[in-house]
Structure 1
């Protein structure tokens, strides 16, 4: 990513142990801390997309998420309910998109909501966020319509995510991303705990941070337990990065009995008898929908759902600091009271992770610009029912925002599922998703260099608990299916191939003949 000369930057003061070439502490204002906290609001699909663009030659892999995202890229439009479904997964929205537009350095700028209507808008009263949506009258909603956004007073005392304090408030940040309001006592405490009481051995470095550095820091958050050192002293080099999560197996929580039925869906696992490893699974679109929902969930929600059974290093530190210092997002406050994550409206999947809810679409109103003296009315939208716009008609007319996942003449406001029903897929151990074809199984076995006699097919029931285990495994490992579902594979005694059994019998018979001749 090229850095433009006029790019806005945020600034950071590094306190460095020069002998060890390691960041001891960093001092920063709200602008940088807001950027750090914005990492937690990014959907996992967005993180995979940003990593892919930032370092095309050697992108940092986040468990299996890179494969999940690439699978959506490679899937044809005919696998999805609508064209908009694929676009929604490739560029997942966040409930914090509006807040993030105020960041001094925003690595995921969005254009904001767009709205489209059909030529019969005066009668249909339907609109959509996608120009590919078809209205109930049969026309495409491809005509843009102006949206008069609600004006929200900007409290200059607060940052984007930071609550309280003045504009000059300073924070200290450890190398493993613990963030706290700066005080002399806290600085001294941190220096002593890190064995850096002798300040004569410490140096300082003042750095300006643009989008390139922020993306490098985000990568290092996933690949190192010392992301500040790796980003600003080692320049995020491949040699400096460590795969701190790659070899970990998720620590699965004990399954508890629930009042509701445990079984959610069923898949067929193709297992290699030699080591009982799951090579791939054959499944319907419901299981794939569950996997694709991972892309829409924010990093913060992934950590919340995963619970305390896994140590996420600096990610856990960042999440705790965010809870201590962040301002509440009023739009999602009520919705998230009893949940572990909130998705934007229309991000509803056939099978969804437990604790994840989808926001209801807001109510929109149509009005007409009064200063345009034309026979054809010029419409605009607003969410403010108390708005007194300059229009000829004295009423705000409610309009319906159509779910972009609906197709044909359904014009539904709620449609569950992104993929076409009754479709079949294969999913590899590292979560590469492939639409099933007549030769896909044979091709997979050839690619895996596996003999058909050495494999077995076993049926596995996936419940909410296994769904959470799969999410954890997708973040921590490159073999999500075996890690999350390996305990459900029935361990069968290994059988010798028939040809080897016959060979052993022939050898024993020959040995007996030789023994008799020798005697």
Structure 2
């Protein structure tokens, strides 16, 4: 006798398309808030996660693939510890708790867990908490004792009311990923603007969308102006739309913030008028690697209208233009104020990109329910000190430092350190490397090389970020305008 085990089927979401068969294009689609939540979640994904996901589809995003691959190829000794490398390869989503409620989960990073040393060590009288199981305590043992987070219900419950937008509402999605509330008025107005006076040329198509189609949409949305047609009608004739206009810094910008500016030495190949490579210390490499931990929505906000990444700009604008009443959170959606996840940012950030503050956690020997104390042998942690017995504030173990403390946190790579960063953002550590062999391998006439000293401030940092997403020559596209001709010395 044969017994068949029921397999858990992949969830699917309904999507209705209105198709112009003559043009082989999607005019408009209609879907519930569950589908819109997934589209909007694209904005929460860190660039490192996006790069890792779309590389499976053999898609390249400017120089980001080179940056990510350089990270993969780097030894653990380049970083403060092996956790730093893992953090950059699998950056945390700032809206991770919300995205866990999506009907289809694109982000495959693991949910946050909390750990202490099994010996419950203290340093200077302080308890330490880690969100990384591989962290090494000050006593030398792993901080691998998982703690229960008590009194935090943000990750629980159903998603019947939606994640970012109200789930039981219908929305219109256009081929360029502009999103509007579904209503007769909006539908008529948009169809007329697109040149349709009736439905005679339009045909309905009903689909069930799974994770494969969502991943294809993410890939196409980054480079195409018609991702719906590309994915659901296999329309391969789309035009790549990835451009960046460098920001021009005013001559009289004012005072310089030397605490966040970065010094950089670049080598130019004069005959090609390109930056061949840069000699960089830890701060510059940390800044480049921090691209991978930055949410896509933050990039679009920072660069505003200077950058065009397929249809992602339209998706971002749709969030801004959508009536606040259609969001699940009446006080404002987190999509409009995306920051880097706690402990995943670069401390000396030259731009205005912010890192979320790590919440305060309290350790106690028991829990308090209905004013009654219940002892727990291994202890418990909570964000609310009134919910735990004998509450003691905890400090966060920060991997971005030599000793795990927040006060000494700098970034991901060790100090001092020296790297070569190539024009296409491949990063090569120079530890124990022969400079003579390095120059010989270049196979470039030495008199064709010229060095320049640059200072990377906010404007230059933003230009480099924009160029890294849209060009295969990020250093030249982002920084070459800074170079001033050197005076020729007389023989």
> Which segments of structure 1 move beyond 6 Å, counting only runs of 4 or more?
328-334
Cα gap change, 1:470 to 1:377, in 2 (>3 Å): same
Alignment of 1:461-480 (within 5 A): 461-480=455-474
Following TM superposition, by how much is the alpha carbon of 1:144 offset from its aligned partner in structure 2, in angstroms?
2.4
SS in 1 for 2:354: strand
SS in 2 for 1:430: coil
Following TM superposition, by how much is the alpha carbon of 1:356 offset from its aligned partner in structure 2, in angstroms?
1.3
Conserved in 2, the CA contact under 8 Å of 1:128 and 1:404?
no
- Among 396, 399, 403, the residue aligned to 1:401: 396
Conserved in 2, the CA contact under 8 Å of 1:133 and 1:407?
no
Following TM superposition, by how much is the alpha carbon of 1:40 offset from its aligned partner in structure 2, in angstroms?
0.4
Conserved in 2, the CA contact under 8 Å of 1:106 and 1:211?
yes
Conserved in 1, the CA contact under 8 Å of 2:161 and 2:328?
no
- Measure, in 1, the Cα distance between the counterparts of 2:434 and 2:241: 34
Conserved in 2, the CA contact under 8 Å of 1:255 and 1:465?
no
Rg comparison, structure with higher value = 1
Deviations 1:471-512 (A, max 9, x none): 1111121111101111122346999xx9xxxxxxxxxxxxxx
2:210 matched to which residue of 1?
210
Following TM superposition, by how much is the alpha carbon of 1:145 offset from its aligned partner in structure 2, in angstroms?
2.5
- Measure, in 2, the Cα distance between the counterparts of 1:406 and 1:93: 18
1:345 matched to which residue of 2?
342
- Measure, in 2, the Cα distance between the counterparts of 1:95 and 1:361: 11
Conserved in 2, the CA contact under 8 Å of 1:171 and 1:182?
yes
SS in 2 for 1:231: helix
Following TM superposition, by how much is the alpha carbon of 1:120 offset from its aligned partner in structure 2, in angstroms?
2.4
- Measure, in 1, the Cα distance between the counterparts of 2:341 and 2:238: 34
- Measure, in 2, the Cα distance between the counterparts of 1:363 and 1:242: 48
- Measure, in 1, the Cα distance between the counterparts of 2:330 and 2:400: 27
- 198-207 vs 311-320, which moves further: 311-320
Structure 2 residue 418 is matched with structure 1 residue 424? yes
Conserved in 1, the CA contact under 8 Å of 2:133 and 2:142?
yes
Aligned residues: 469
- Measure, in 2, the Cα distance between the counterparts of 1:73 and 1:97: 23
- Measure, in 2, the Cα distance between the counterparts of 1:412 and 1:487: 37
SS in 2 for 1:377: strand
Conserved in 1, the CA contact under 8 Å of 2:290 and 2:346?
yes
SS in 1 for 2:200: helix
Following TM superposition, by how much is the alpha carbon of 1:62 offset from its aligned partner in structure 2, in angstroms?
1.1
Structure 2 residue 429 is matched with structure 1 residue 435? yes
Structure 2 residue 252 is matched with structure 1 residue 257? yes
TM-score (norm 1): 0.82
SS in 2 for 1:257: coil
Following TM superposition, by how much is the alpha carbon of 1:346 offset from its aligned partner in structure 2, in angstroms?
1.5
SS in 2 for 1:206: strand
1:356 matched to which residue of 2?
353
Conserved in 1, the CA contact under 8 Å of 2:34 and 2:102?
yes
Following TM superposition, by how much is the alpha carbon of 1:449 offset from its aligned partner in structure 2, in angstroms?
4.6
Structure 2 residue 126 is matched with structure 1 residue 127? no
1:42 matched to which residue of 2?
45
- Measure, in 2, the Cα distance between the counterparts of 1:376 and 1:19: 68
- Measure, in 1, the Cα distance between the counterparts of 2:115 and 2:200: 63
Following TM superposition, by how much is the alpha carbon of 1:253 offset from its aligned partner in structure 2, in angstroms?
3.1
1:20 matched to which residue of 2?
23
- 344-353 vs 299-308, which moves further: 344-353
SS in 2 for 1:343: coil
- Measure, in 1, the Cα distance between the counterparts of 2:94 and 2:356: 9
Following TM superposition, by how much is the alpha carbon of 1:66 offset from its aligned partner in structure 2, in angstroms?
1.2
Alignment of 1:288-437 (within 5 A): 288-325=285-322, 327=327, 341-368=338-365, 377-387=377-387, 394-408=389-403, 411-412=405-406, 415-437=409-431
1:51 matched to which residue of 2?
54
- Measure, in 1, the Cα distance between the counterparts of 2:89 and 2:190: 42
2:372 matched to which residue of 1?
none
1:508 matched to which residue of 2?
none
1:81 matched to which residue of 2?
80
Cα gap change, 1:376 to 1:204, in 2 (>3 Å): closer
Cα gap change, 1:308 to 1:243, in 2 (>3 Å): closer
- Measure, in 2, the Cα distance between the counterparts of 1:345 and 1:223: 29
Cα gap change, 1:40 to 1:60, in 2 (>3 Å): same
Cα gap change, 1:136 to 1:66, in 2 (>3 Å): same
- Measure, in 1, the Cα distance between the counterparts of 2:213 and 2:143: 40
Alignment of 1:95-114 (within 5 A): 95-114=94-113
- Measure, in 1, the Cα distance between the counterparts of 2:164 and 2:248: 32
- Among 277, 282, 298, the residue aligned to 2:279: 282
- Measure, in 2, the Cα distance between the counterparts of 1:196 and 1:331: 38
Q: Which residues of structure 1 form unaligned runs of 5+?
A: 389-393, 499-519
1:391 matched to which residue of 2?
none
- Measure, in 2, the Cα distance between the counterparts of 1:309 and 1:23: 28
Cα gap change, 1:446 to 1:215, in 2 (>3 Å): farther
Following TM superposition, by how much is the alpha carbon of 1:400 offset from its aligned partner in structure 2, in angstroms?
2.2
- Measure, in 1, the Cα distance between the counterparts of 2:376 and 2:104: 42
SS in 1 for 2:386: coil
Structure 2 residue 8 is matched with structure 1 residue 11? no
Cα gap change, 1:407 to 1:269, in 2 (>3 Å): closer
SS in 1 for 2:222: helix
